[in-house]
Structure 1
Amino acid sequence: MPTGFVLCADDFAITAGVSRSILELLGRGKLSATGVMTSRPHWRGLARELGAFAETADLGLHFNLTCAAPLGAMPRLAPGGELPALGIVARAAVLAPAVRREIAAEFRRQLDAFEEALGRPPDFVDGHQHVHVLPGVRRAVLDGLARRYPAGSVYVRDPADRVSAIRARGVAVGKALVIAGLASGFRTAALRRELRVNRGFAGVAPFDPARDFAADLARFLLCPGPAHLVMCHPGFVDDELERLDPVVATRPVEHAAIAAFVPPSDLPLRRLSQLGV
């Protein structure tokens, strides 16, 4: 039986507004994890504040291959210095060995930036727009982690779940099934490299500001896995966010719902290590 769940805010450091929202929710004990976009220029200035939560929340790398600029030159994938859309990344990573080498190098740079700012490895790794599970990308991520860190010291996010659980929740079902399909085999590949993995995943949303996110958040806890992880995207909107990311209007809606959310007594908020993973 599950003994709790992880609530993870994605996109820390994408903008100042998103980061302030996440820091506020961490300070109120409303989140148990957040993933950092270390390729964003806000990261170094925010690292000290985030590091204060190292004992109460999982702090991880939110690997970025699709938003703004990479940390280093990627002449094949980002010849103009700007990362491309997800579809381009997916195709190029499968078809071009040179692109896969660029991705592996950028992954190392983003890990370096995390460690240099916080003075320690990440607790976990996941990906912006789930890029870490894409064929052509996942090997760079999983092999890179297995070579760099002791076995079992870092976990990776598996964004797949059982079809029956996805359907029972009834939120963005088609989108969640597509993501689960893209992640097929990811868990097995991670475990083979002695990386820890969540067991149960929810949080795929339609990003519709008219929806009741508080109700959706409750639905994400239906049919939980034994080490259940729910992603979320809270934030305060600023001009930079509107330029960078398509997910804008729903972020303050999520922030308000998470700030008011009280987890069920039989499914408390936890870090992943507290769930036996």
Structure 2
Amino acid sequence: MSPKSLTRPPVPFVLCADDYGLSPGVSSAIRDLIDRGRLSATGCMTVTPFWKDHATWLTPYVDQVDVGLHLTLTDQRPIGAMPRTAPGGRLPSLGALMRLAYGGRLDAGEVDAELNRQIDAFESALGRSPAFIDGHQHVHQFPTIREAVVRAVTGRLKGGKHSAREPYLRSCHDSASAITTRGIAIPKTFFVSMLSGRLRKLAHKHTIATNESFRGVYDFSRPVPFGTMMDRFVEDLPAPRAGIALVMCHPGIPDDALRAVDPVVEQRRVEYEWLGGHGLPALLSKRNLRLSRFRE
């Protein structure tokens, strides 16, 4: 680090762990990292059988980090009946949900109702509205779902009895030049970013805040050192005046419950150990960065 950079304040960014509530090992890892100041946000899956119990683990930290809703519309059981979307009582796979959404065949009423049930489960457990909404596997950006999310934010969550302030939405957009320069999972990152276009426009139209830049997409099956990828994810963060960047991560401790419901298992341990070890503090120092909540 140059002497000149030492005089600049650290650049803030949101480091958000997805999938809280997915399994005991995932929730335990995220809670531990929050307790040690290694995360500034987490998104919660309120559809899982673990949610009510695991929500109590988060209670001491809800004023320290952004705790949001990780809207879940794939692979799990919905909280309520969705006869057209989940006719067998099981939400569709990501590919099937995407075909329904982009084919104009998602039932908007069912999506609205399930989104509100998941918000209800969040508020009932934590006594407050989510600080943000995003989607498991980025489904909050799909047609019909994104409109439901915007309705929820501008309707029940704007000034509602559990709302301290209006939630923000996760945008998965990043610039083509930034994606290309980082060189990590370029096709996948471009695709995820492309999905964000309409949601960003809706958010802007309804004056809903979003992050300026999104990082953290990679191929979980490739043996690229996680620390190397994190270094690339944060090497060109926007200046605070341009808006805050959000980096997602997926730490966890593998357990049987996780193996039963999700293909990403051992890589979660890799992320957990790196984030909880010397890697993250060293990276923050090297790049002159700090973890931040969205509105700090």
Normalising by the smaller structure, the TM-score range is: over 0.9
Report what 1:273 is aligned to.
Answer: 295
Inter-partner Cα distance in structure 2 for 1:86 and 1:114: 23
Inter-partner Cα distance in structure 2 for 1:179 and 1:169: 15
CA RMSD for the aligned pairs? 1.6
Equivalent residue for 2:262, pick from 225, 245, 252: 245
Equivalent residue for 1:255, pick from 251, 256, 272: 272
Contact 1:160–1:184 (Cα < 8 Å) also in 2: yes
Report what 1:207 is aligned to.
Answer: 220
Inter-partner Cα distance in structure 1 for 2:237 and 2:221: 24
Code of the residue aligned with 1:269 in structure 2: it is L
Q: Taking structure 1 as the reference length, what is the TM-score of the superposition?
A: 0.94
Contact 1:165–1:222 (Cα < 8 Å) also in 2: no
Equivalent residue for 2:183, pick from 170, 184, 203: 170
Q: The residue matched to 2:290 in structure 1 has which SS?
A: coil
Q: Taking structure 2 as the reference length, what is the TM-score of the superposition?
A: 0.89
Contact 1:200–1:229 (Cα < 8 Å) also in 2: yes
Question: What percentage of aligned pairs have identical amino acids?
Answer: 43
Code of the residue aligned with 2:293 in structure 1: it is R
Note closer, same or farther for the CA distance 1:215–1:91 as it changes in structure 2 (3 Å cut): same
Q: The residue matched to 1:153 in structure 2 has which SS?
A: coil
Code of the residue aligned with 1:252 in structure 2: it is R
Inter-partner Cα distance in structure 1 for 2:251 and 2:44: 13
Report what 1:161 is aligned to.
Answer: 174
Inter-partner Cα distance in structure 2 for 1:190 and 1:138: 10
Equivalent residue for 1:32, pick from 40, 46, 49: 40
**Displacement of 1:209:** 6.0
**Displacement of 1:96:** 4.9
Code of the residue aligned with 1:61 in structure 2: it is L
Would you say 1:42 and 2:50 are equivalent positions?
yes
**Displacement of 1:3:** 3.0
Q: Where do 5+ consecutive residues of structure 2 fail to align?
A: 1-8, 160-164
Deviations along 1:163-206, one digit per CA (max 9) or x if unpaired, are 11111111111110000111112212112122110111100011
The number of equivalent residue pairs is: 274
Q: The residue matched to 1:34 in structure 2 has which SS?
A: strand
Report what 1:227 is aligned to.
Answer: 244
Q: Where do 5+ consecutive residues of structure 1 fail to align?
A: none
Report what 2:284 is aligned to.
Answer: 264
Report what 1:107 is aligned to.
Answer: 115
Larger-gyration structure (1/2): 2
Q: The residue matched to 2:133 in structure 1 has which SS?
A: strand
**More divergent stretch after superposition (138-147 vs 205-214):** 205-214
Inter-partner Cα distance in structure 2 for 1:107 and 1:184: 21
Inter-partner Cα distance in structure 2 for 1:136 and 1:87: 16
Would you say 1:179 and 2:199 are equivalent positions?
no
Equivalent residue for 1:122, pick from 122, 130, 137: 130
Report what 1:10 is aligned to.
Answer: 18
